[in-house]
Amino acid sequence: MKAAGFGAGKVILLGEHAVVYGYPAIAGALPLGVYAHMEAAERCALQTPGNLDEKQRALLQQAFGRAAEFAAWPKVLLRLEASLPMGAGLGSSAAVSVACAKALALAAFPHETREAQLEKAAEMAWRMEQVFHGSPSGVDNATSLRETLLWFCQGKVETLSCPTPLKILIAMAGQRSPTQSTVAQLRERQKKWPGHHKRLFEEIGRCTEEARGAIEAGDLALLGELMNVNQGLLAAMQLDSEKLIQKIHRLRGLGALGAKLTGAGGDGGAVVGLFEAPEGPMETLRAEGVECFACQLAGPRSL
């Protein structure tokens, strides 16, 4: 059965955390994500996945309620299916929000144009994401909804193109704390020491701007170098951990042009490596028992 809504997972190449403070980020959509299946029902409802605990279930229902309210509670039942690792820094909550929002837009506004439906879906997904994360930057939602490589700054979005294939390998580095708590801890340190955090965010912003030029010129070596520098700056803000560092160094050892944590970071989550050919390193990591996958974010695709 074709899903009524798909929300893509995302990977942030540069600029996480700084984006919350108004600096730019570059993020790409993953082929993995969350599907919302929909059927007619007596009342508007979301069937929550069986693997959630009570707290997560309540939060998801609360978020869904915010979107359903906007759509005037269409009489449909939604059921979610995920092909994306959840809670790993790959935008799973945004993917859930976007999948639900797209399905609700289809049910509630069937006669509107695709563009108008997407605009309404964006508003509903944003409402849901605010329940999940408090005050997110919006980069996860924007990437999940648009399903492309993009530049995001203060709510404004531009699609990026690359003349060469931009391929990555993502590896999992274990369980992590929720994004909201990592963002909140950084906020505490930033309030205490605003001066040096400003300098670090500014430097991340410069790296991200330079990385945009590198992507548009197809200069993967420079892009990788900038990802490494971005990792150093995230580490300076104590957003790394032993688990993340070990995986980042493994990716570099396997020939990554650049490697860093992606998403909120903290005590675990996911790392991303930039590779010209990620397939070999992916096989090697899998043989070592590491959960990982490769994909292309932009550029020409071979048949």
Interface positions with ligand MEV (CB under 6 A): 16-17, 19-20, 91, 133, 136-137, 139-140, 179, 183, 263-264
Asked if residue 204 lies in contact with residue 14, where contact means CB atoms within 8 angstroms, the answer is: yes
Nearer to ligand MEV, 88 or 108 (CB): 88
Residue 292 Cβ, how far from ligand MEV at the closest point, in Å? 19
Burial of 202 (0-12, 13-18, 19+ CB in 10 A): middle
Residue 139 Cβ, how far from ligand MEV at the closest point, in Å? 5
Residue 186 Cβ, how far from ligand MEV at the closest point, in Å? 8
Nearer to ligand MEV, 138 or 224 (CB): 138
Nearer to ligand MEV, 17 or 176 (CB): 17
**Structure tokens that stand for 126 in this block:** 């944003």
Nearer to ligand MEV, 79 or 187 (CB): 187
Nearer to ligand MEV, 263 or 278 (CB): 263
Asked if residue 263 lies in contact with residue 182, where contact means CB atoms within 8 angstroms, the answer is: no
Residues 6+ apart with CB under 8 A from 287: none
Residue 70 Cβ, how far from ligand MEV at the closest point, in Å? 21
Residue 85 Cβ, how far from ligand MEV at the closest point, in Å? 13
Cα–Cα distance, 282 to 96 (Å, whole number): 27
Residues 6+ apart with CB under 8 A from 88: 172, 176, 263, 268, 269, 270
